[in-house]
Every structure is written in C-alpha cells, then in structure tokens.
Structure 1
Amino acid sequence: MKISGWMLLMGGVAASGGAWGAQAIDFMFPAPVDGKLTMEMTRIIKEFNQSQQQVEVRGIFTGGYDTTKVKAESAAKAGSPPALVIMSANFTVDLALKDEILPMDELFKFSADKQSATDFLQKNFWPAVQQNAQVLGRTYAIPFHNSTPILYYNRDLFQQAGISQPPRTWSELAEDAKKLTNKDKGQWGIMIPSTNDDYGGWMLSALTHANGGNWSNDNYPGEVYYDTPSARGALQFWQNLVYRDGVMPAGVLNTKQISAAFFSGKLGMALLSTGALGFMRDNSRDFTMEVAMMPVQQRQAVIIGGASLVSFKGISEAQKAAAYQFLTYLTSPDVNGQWSRFTGYFAPRMAAYDTPAMKDYLAKDPRAAVALKQLQYAHPWYATYETVAVRQAMENQLASVVTDKSRLVADAARDAQRQADEIMKPYVAQTALKQP
C-alpha cells in the first residue's frame, strides 16, 4: 500500500500531539449572529475529533468578527498562531498585505491529488464568493459561510396595512414603511442596523451599489468612494427614513434591538443578514415571517458577507497538514450544508445544494433560497488596507446622520472620505510609482 506524505508526516509527529497521539490545532471561530451557533460549532468539532485519530481540534470561541481578528492576531504575536480561523471574509486582504496569514497552497500541498487552493476554490465555490478569498491573484482563504442582506417582513402586519407584496424599490419601501408605522402602538415600519461593527457599513455599501455606485475599488485596496453621489444618496435615503418619513427610530440601532422589536410584532420590516435566517425563523412564532430580495434604486445589487477560513503564519508543517484535514471537512458538501441549514447562511460550496438533505430543506422552506437568487447581483465585500478603521470612518458618520437631524449628509460623506484616505495613505504611498 502506498503511504502518502501526509500520513508519514502525521505519524512522525504523533508524539507531540494531544489526545490519542493526535496533532492538536487551535481553531478560532466567531458567532456574530446568535449564541446557538457556538453550540452547533462545538458539536461539529466534536464529531470531527471522534471521526478520526490523526487530528485533535481545540475550538476557541472568539466573539464577533472584529474581536476574532484582534484575538487571532494577538495569539500569533504571542507565539501561538491559530491553525485555522473563521475570519470575516473582507479581512483577508488586510491580513495578507500585513503578511500575517498563509497562502492556502501551504495547506493544499497536503492534498492527495496535489490540487492547488485556487483550483479547489474556482471549481467548487460560487463565483460571487471567490474574489474575497484572493489577494492579487493568490488564494489566501477558503469560504466557509456567506450571506447577503435581505428584507425580513411581518406578513401579518402587511395584510393589516393592505400591502400585498414586499417593496421592490426604495420608494415603495418608504411608502410601505409609512403604512406600517403606528407610533401610538410603538410600531415602526423599518429598521436597519447602523452599528460600527461592520453591520452599518455592510448595509450602507449594499444601498450604495443599489444606487448605481461602488463603495470601493475591488482591485486596489487603497481606494474607497465615500464622497460620491451614489454613496451620499444612500446616506440621505437612510437619514430620510428617520427624520423626513418618520418610519424608523432615531439613533444607532443594533441587531438585538431590531430583532426584539420584530419578534414582539412591533416592526414591519428589517434589513438584516440572511445569516440570521435561522434565528429569525425560530423566534417569529406569533406571526408569519417572510423574506424578499433587497429593494432596488438604480439597479439590483447586494454585497457578499460572511466568513472564510484562514491559517496564520508560524504554524508547523504538521499543523498545516492537520489544518488541511479539518478545513476540507468543514467545507465538505455535507458539513457545509448542515451549517447552512442550521444558521441561515448560504453554503458557499456549490455541491452542498446537490445533497438530498439540502434539496429537502429548500423544498420545505423556500425562504432559504432568496440569498441564492441574489447571487447573480452580488458584489464582493469591500476589503481595503486597514479594513476595520477605513470602514468605521464611514460607520461613525452614518451614526451621526441618524442621531442628529441637522447633520448634513454632504459633510458626513466628506469627513468620512478624508479620514479613510488618511488611514490608507501608507499603503497608497507604498504602491505609488516613484518619479524618475
């Protein structure tokens, strides 16, 4: 029998591993939508560990996406880099530019058929999720779960208000929200999360694209388009919902506030992630919840969200081999499909939808197919040098326009652009051609 190089490597380091002589690896994962996701991921890790004896995965829950990045970077700097991390998909560029993560071929060299990571990515994953996994043509991540923003709505409230179908345009959304708002009952027409933990930026970027513009340069991580007509228009639409139309409460809204209002029957519509579908479905018990595609202004458009698997530099060859084994388990059609059905994220692995379990799931709950329908209109998630700080430059200004009626959108967009440009200045200077 031919013994693979991976088996020889794993056998040679067994003594240095954890339980059962297995190679131990640290796996960091966030649960940004609902606490039940932590329990489900713990179950998946346990099943993997019990399914074989070569690798022992130590799961480390790390909170939200932003804190996961901080904790993973801190662990790497302290000399204990995680072998795998479920990382926000738009952090891949920044991590690769800083030389903190491995090119995925460092893991895929342990594949039995020597398949490259890029080949694996391009053959097995939806085209819409691939760009966020690559940096300057090289694959640094493998998608694990993905999302798009979608419209959640209370069909019972729609019927009471005489609304026959979900809004298809921004103007229809505003008009429907007016019909759904009843301040005497404490009932609001629409809520959109505006926090600076990426939800506000993600939603605003989707609205900017729907308004015919771009949020950033998809091919150059040193350029954003905050002070443009399309971005200003999206920002103005958001502020108008609060102060002109009076259909959304003033101030920064987080997802807990929005879901609580929705579940209590005091909210007609919400723009949230399809990754929240499982949570929203489980808790909308007293009325019929439906979902629809994002409303259009100039064009149909959404932004890809979610997370990918990355591996930090500094791990051993044995840990790379172990990380490869667990990565391929997590992204297998069966496991990727299980996670999708539990959470509401759509599975980035296309073959997950060919499994009998997924076909049965979609037949029973067509709401889960809305995110897939939107993929034809999807754009990559914005990813820049210092993504978090650049994103928050606009998110902080978003907070100002929904908190202060007198805050001019033009001033907010200008200030966001200036701050973002200042943050990206080192990268722009680094990549600029020197004059002869």
Structure 2
Amino acid sequence: MRSAVLSVLTVFSLLIFECRSPATRKVKVRFWHAMGGEAQKTLKELVSEFERLNPDIKIELVAMGNYDALAQKLLGAVAVQNPPTIAQMYENWTTQLHAAGQLEYLEDYIYGANGINTAELTDIYPGLLENNRWNGKILTLPFNKSVPVYYYNVEMLRQAGYDSFPRSWTEFREMCRKLIRRNPDGSISTWATANGTDIWIFGSMLFQRGGKFLAQEDG
C-alpha cells in the first residue's frame, strides 16, 4: 500500500507545479480513474488527506466504473482536446497517447526543486518504475498493480505427491500433467489448471519464458 500511496501523492504533487496559477494560487485537478470498492474508498481518503495538506488545490475525482469505459472516454476526450489533468491507464494506452503527443515526461517535475526526494523515488519497486519509462525517461508513474496469485486444492496436490506448490514453471508443468484426469474415451474430465486470457497475463508468461510479441524490433 505504501508504494500506491507514494504514487498517488507523487502524481498530485507533480501536477501542482505544472498547473498552479500565480495569480489565484488555486488549482483544480481532474483525475479520471476506474477504481471501485475498497480501492476507491482508499483513493478518496488519500485525496482528502492531500487536500487537507494543500488547501489551495481541489482534486476532482471522476470514477468511470471500469477500465473499458475509462479507455473509451479518455481517448474520446483527447480527440476533442478536453482531456483530464491526470488519468489511470494501462501501458498500451500510454503508447497510444504518447504517440499522439498527449503525455508529458515527468523528469523535470520529479528531479526539480520541488520534486520528490531520492528516498521517495526508490520506495517504488524498481521493476514497476522501469515499466513506466520511455526511451529511458519517466513518462508515467505506477499507480496500482495487480499481482496474480494461484488458488489450489491442497488435497489434490497431496494425492499427486506434492506437499507444496511448485516453485518453477518446469515443476508446474510436471505437476499439471499428473493432475489431469481423463475419461475412458481419452477426453479430459478434470483439467489441472485454468488461467485468464487477458493480454497482461499472457504477456507476463510469455516474457518469463524469454519470448517476444514480435520476432524483430521493426515488427
């Protein structure tokens, strides 16, 4: 949670120096997101705390309900040149928006006089921060990251000779072969595992095996 808190407050603080009007010293920041449930509750608490510490700034939280709706409205808003100040987005949205010239590098804000210190920046997991760089420069900041976990039937694993979950893909593959159950006609009655088909899940597994989406850099 600390990394998430840091990311949200970092984004807010960076925008202060970008948007603040010298004349009025009042800033309104529109923040589009797709958070719900407890995550949205936590986000509202973070915003309230930020506004308490910065009374001259108003954060307008706009919940889009889900990622599909957020993507559609965000790209539509960009098309009519009325985007929010900041928005939650997937990496592939970043590619589209950056190609359209709609995103700004954050280096000057992060490392500027009113930026964040080294300790705060290093509090973000290196892998997550690197995933937000474009040509070596920070273009976005990690906001929330989903971590896949496996739920498994302990008894079925025990019957297959396992007292713990595999720690490598090789072991996992071998375990799955042992867990598959077939009908007399050879058809499968019990699958060993089931995964989602989202691109981020497929991509994670592909990269872990040393694969690439494209055979060459030029596609």
The structure richer in helix per residue is 1
* Aligned positions, number: 197
Correspondence for 2:42 = 40
Correspondence for 1:25 = 29
Correspondence for 2:152 = 153
- The structural deviation recorded for 1:135 is 1.8
Correspondence for 1:208 = 206
Corresponding residue to 2:99 among 90, 97, 100 = 97
The amino acid of 1:81's aligned partner reads P
After the TM superposition, which residues 172-321 of structure 1 pair with which residues of structure 2 at under 5 Å, given as runs?
172-177=171-176, 180=179, 188-194=191-197, 199=198, 201-216=199-214, 222-223=218-219
- The structural deviation recorded for 1:193 is 0.4
The amino acid of 1:206's aligned partner reads S
Correspondence for 2:11 = none
The amino acid of 1:140's aligned partner reads L
| 1:12 is the counterpart of 2:23 | yes
Report the Cα distance in structure 2 between the residues aligned to 1:44 and 1:115, rounded to whole angstroms: 19
Asked if structure 1 preserves the Cα contact closer than 8 Å seen for 2:32 and 2:84, the reply is yes
TM-score w.r.t. length of structure 2: 0.67
Correspondence for 2:124 = 125
Report the Cα distance in structure 2 between the residues aligned to 1:171 and 1:106, rounded to whole angstroms: 45
The amino acid of 1:202's aligned partner reads W
Correspondence for 2:166 = 167
Corresponding residue to 2:89 among 87, 96, 120 = 87
Correspondence for 1:74 = 76
The amino acid of 1:12's aligned partner reads A
The amino acid of 2:77's aligned partner reads A
Q: Which moved more, 1:148-157 or 1:137-146?
A: 148-157
Higher-RCO chain (CA-CA 8 Å, sequence separation at least 6):
1
Unaligned 5+ segments in structure 2 are 1-15, 184-188
SS at structure 2 position matched to 1:56: strand
Report the Cα distance in structure 1 between the residues aligned to 2:65 and 2:24, rounded to whole angstroms: 32
Identity percentage of aligned residues: 20
Report the Cα distance in structure 2 between the residues aligned to 1:144 and 1:26, rounded to whole angstroms: 16
| 1:135 is the counterpart of 2:118 | no
What is the Cα-based RMSD across aligned positions, in Å?
3.8
Change beyond 3 A, Cα 1:106–1:84: farther
TM-score w.r.t. length of structure 1: 0.38
- The structural deviation recorded for 1:153 is 2.6
Report the Cα distance in structure 1 between the residues aligned to 2:21 and 2:107, rounded to whole angstroms: 18
Correspondence for 1:287 = none
The amino acid of 1:211's aligned partner reads R
| 1:55 is the counterpart of 2:62 | no
